[in-house]
Amino acid sequence: MRQQTAACFRMEGKVAVVTGGASGIGRAIVERFAASGARVHIIDLTQAESVAREIGNGADVQVQQCDVSDKAQVQNAFNDIFRAEHVNILVNCAGIAHVGNLESTTEIEFDKVFRVNVKGMYNCMHACIGHMKTNGGGVILNMASVAASSGLADRFAYSMSKGAVVSMSYSVAKDYLAYKIRCNCISPARVHTPFVDGFLAKNYPGREKEVFDQLSGKQPVGRMGDPGEIAALVLFLCSDEASFITGVDYPIDGGFLNLRD
C-alpha cells in the first residue's frame, strides 16, 4: 500500500502540452508535471526558452512560441509536436484578463478577450482532438474561473469568456466519451501571480499592500490562492488516478462561491 501511494500522480511516459506555461499558474503546472516525470511542451506567446531551462534541470521541457488566437500558428505548433510524439494531456491555461462593465467594454476589447480566452482554447482543442482520437484517448483540462458562475463587478467580458470555457468543456467531455478522452475544467478564485502584482503597481501605486490585503480578504479563507495549489489539482485531474472524472467544473476558490457572507 505504501508503494502504491508513493506512485500516485506520477507521469512517467506521459507527454503534456501546457498553453500559457511561461508564467503564473501555467508555469506552476509545467513545474508540477515535470517534477512528476512528464515530458512537457510549453506553448506561449512569449519566448520561454529561459523558463524551460529553469524548470528543466533534469526534466524534459520544450517550448513552442505561438499566439493561441491564431489558428494557423496553433496548428503548426501542434504539428511540430505530433511529428515527434503522441500527446496524452492538453492543459489550456493561456488567457487574458479584462476589467470593465457592459457599457465601458469596447467592441475591440470584447473581441480581444473572446479571441484569446475562447477562440484560443477552441484552436488548441481543435488541433489536438483528432490526434487524441487516433492515439486511443487523452485528457483535456481547461482553465475557467469563479467568474463563470458568480456575478463579479466590472468583469463583463472576462466572465463571458470563462462561462464559454465551462460550456465548451462540458460539450467536449460529452462528445468524446467513446474515444476515451476526458475533459474537465477548474475555476480558481483570485490567485497571487505576477499579473496581480503588476495590476496593483499600475492601478494603485503606493497602495499596493493595502489593496492586496483587501483583495485577499475577499476569499473566506483570508488569502489568495497560490499557483502551486492550482497546479496540484490540475496534476490530479490529468493523472490516471482521476480516470473516473470527466465533464466536471471544479472550483478551487478558498470558499469564495459557497462561503461568502
pLDDT (tens digit, 9 = 90+) per residue, 22-35?
A: 999 999 999 999 99
Average pLDDT over residues 251-261: 93
Average pLDDT over residues 196-223: 93
Per-residue model confidence (pLDDT) at position 199: 85
Task: Tell me what pLDDT residue 6 has.
Answer: 53
Give the residue range(s) of CATH 3.40.50.720 domains in the chain: 2-189+227-251
Mean pLDDT of 155-177: 98
94: confidence class by pLDDT, cuts 50, 70, 90: very high
Which of 4-8, 49-53, 148-152 is most confident? Answer: 148-152
Q: Give the other-Cβ count within 10 Å of 252's Cβ.
A: 17
The residues annotated as belonging to the active site are 158
pLDDT of residue 96: 95
Q: pLDDT band at residue 144, thresholds of 50, 70 and 90?
A: very high
Superfamily of domain 2-189+227-251: NAD(P)-binding Rossmann-like Domain (3.40.50.720)
What's the chain's average pLDDT?
94
Is the CB of residue 44 less than 8 Å from the CB of residue 22? yes
As a whole number, mean pLDDT of residues 73-86 equals 97
The answer to whether 90 and 124 are in contact (CB under 8 A) is: yes
Give the percent of the chain with pLDDT over 70: 96
How much is the pLDDT for 7?
A: 67
Over range 82-94, report the average pLDDT: 97
**Mean pLDDT, residues 104-132 taken together:** 98
% of residues, the chain, pLDDT over 90: 87
158 closest CA partner among 230, 82, 239, 95: 95
Q: How far apart are CA 1 and CA 244, in angstroms?
A: 21
- The reported pLDDT for the residue numbered 1 is 42
CA 29 to chain centre: 8
Residue 122 has pLDDT above 50, yes or no: yes
Q: What is the number of other CB atoms lying within 10 angstroms of the CB of residue 202?
A: 9
